[in-house]
Structure 1
Amino acid sequence: MRQIRVYNQVFRIEKTVYSIQGIHLPQPVSYRQLAFFVGTLLVMIILNAFPPMNMIDLFLVKFIGIPFLVAWFFTRKTLDGKAPHRFIIRYLEHRLNSQHFARYKNLEKQANKYQYDGVVAYRKCSGGDPF
């Protein structure tokens, strides 16, 4: 079997923003990071109208800290080898799906729970608290 090398990733350069309206950013930001930051900022603005978020007076934490952490997490970390937002979507899709598959075949749900028969061995601690 012959392996064919593909160099698609080499030519896929992520676009970055270096300044906004002439104000230079301390670090270049990708469009993806900027989108997560702005999206989270809009969610925080909407949530600020409802309790308990409107009771928190920490402006920098609500409108800069949380969007920054969300943008960092969703662009830098992976869960199970996937981007976090894709992992969450697939997890919710799996939980909401009524069918379960194994090797692409539908599994029937068991009505009975497993019941174990046999003797369980254990030791009693002499004297008060075991910890």
Structure 2
Amino acid sequence: MKQIRVYNQVFRIEKTVYSVQGIQLPIPVSYRQLAFFAGTLFLMFLLNEIPPFSWVDYYLIKFIGIPLLVAWFFTRKTLDGKAPHRFLIRFLEYRSQPKYFARYQEIPVEKKARYHYTGTVVYRRHEEVTDDAKHSLSD
């Protein structure tokens, strides 16, 4: 069997933004990083009045620091060899599907009681022996 090498990744060059409206950016930014930054910035504007975010009074941290951190994390780090957002989507998909399959079909799982007794239970009844009963037993 021959292995055919494919060089698609070599020719797939990520598009980069160097300036916005004539303002030079300090570092070149990819479209993906820009999209994560803009999405997080929009989310921060929406969540601005909700308690964990409303407690932060520093707008530089809230509207620049957090979106920069999110954009860096989601474009540079990998979880289990995947991009973090794809890993989270797959994890939630796994947690939401049934766990028992046979030939890719879901097996209904019946809840069983832990202990089930089918026979009769036999026990002895203990009675306290009085003095009169002792005398009748000894006779």
What TM-score do the two structures reach when normalised by structure 1? 0.76
The alignment status of 1:94 with 2:94, answered yes or no, reads yes
Report the equivalent of 2:71. 71
- In 2: Cα distance, 1:101 partner to 1:19 partner: 52
Report the equivalent of 2:35. 35
Q: Partner letter of residue 17 of structure 1?
A: V
Structure 1 unaligned regions, length at least 5: 113-131
Q: Secondary structure at the match of 1:94?
A: helix
Structure 2 unaligned regions, length at least 5: 113-139
CA RMSD across the alignment: 2.3
Q: Partner letter of residue 9 of structure 2?
A: Q
- The structure with the larger Rg is 2
Measure how far apart 1:50 and its partner are.
2.0
Q: Partner letter of residue 29 of structure 2?
A: V
Which residues in structure 2 correspond to 1:1-131 (within 5 Å)? Answer: 1-101=1-101, 104=104, 106=106, 109=109, 111=111
Cα 1:39/1:100, change in 2 over 3 Å:
farther
Bigger shift: residues 51-60 or 62-71: 51-60
Cα 1:8/1:41, change in 2 over 3 Å:
same
What TM-score do the two structures reach when normalised by structure 2? 0.72
Report the equivalent of 2:118. none
Q: How many residues align?
A: 114
Measure how far apart 1:101 and its partner are.
4.2
Cα 1:71/1:2, change in 2 over 3 Å:
same
Measure how far apart 1:54 and its partner are.
1.8
- In 1: Cα distance, 2:24 partner to 2:53 partner: 31
Q: Secondary structure at the match of 1:52?
A: helix
Percent pairwise identity? 69
